[in-house]
Amino acid sequence: MLSKRAKYAIKTILFLKDRPEGKPISAKVISENENIPYKFLENILRELRTHRLIKSIRGSEGGYVLAKDPSEISIAQIMRIVDGPIALIPCISEKFYEACAECEDEQTCRIRKMFAEVRAEMVPILERPITAMDKEA
């Protein structure tokens, strides 16, 4: 299941994508429109900023804008930033690799082989640009 963090993050990115560029949107506005707890949202926004998905403008009249074209942002990116690995098992994750304690030999592990295939088919689904996913019906 997707964490609230990830869900809120995706909602935030979509919200920013909808606004005309140039005018920064404040955390308060996002929070009220998307029903996201204000302080929790601030945390998420900071995380998205440090990972260069959004830019912030400080001070009065400040706020946030996308740091890249929406066509270059995917659900996978957002999930990795706020939730960590997408892979279903740690020994397969590329960005967050970790060995499996209870498996004798990673090279011959059947579970690992199964999930390598799952991952290979799953990641492209999540890596599509949000502009392709978020179509008007």
Partner DNA sequence: TATTATTCATACCTGTTTGATATGATATAT
Partner DNA sequence: ATATATCATATCAAACAGGTATGAATAATA
To the nearest whole angstrom, how small is the minimum distance from the Cβ of residue 105 to ligand FES? 8
Q: What angle do CA 82, 85, 88 make, to 5 degrees?
A: 135
- Per CB under 6 A, which of residues 94..113 are in contact with ligand FES? 100, 103, 106, 109, 111-112
Residue 108 Cα distances to 33, 50, 79, 114, angstroms? 50, 38, 29, 11
- The sign one gets for the Cα dihedral 64, 14, 130, 49 is positive
Token representation of residue 72: 């270059």
Residues 19-48 within binding reach of its own copies (CB under 8 A)? 34-36
Q: Choose the contact partner of 56 out of its own copies, DNA, ligand FES, none; CB within 5 to 8 A by kind.
A: DNA
Confirm if 78 and 13 have CB atoms less than 8 A apart: yes
Site for its own copies in 103-132 (CB under 8 A): 103-104, 110-111, 113-115, 117-118, 121-122, 125-126, 130
Shortest Å, Cβ 8 to DNA: 7
**Residues 72, 85: Cα–Cα separation, whole Å:** 19
Looking at the Cβ atoms of 112 and 119, the one nearer to ligand FES is 112
**Which lies closer to its own copies via its Cβ, residue 2 or residue 29?**
2
Residues near ligand FES, by CB under 6 A: 89, 91, 100, 103, 106, 109, 111-112
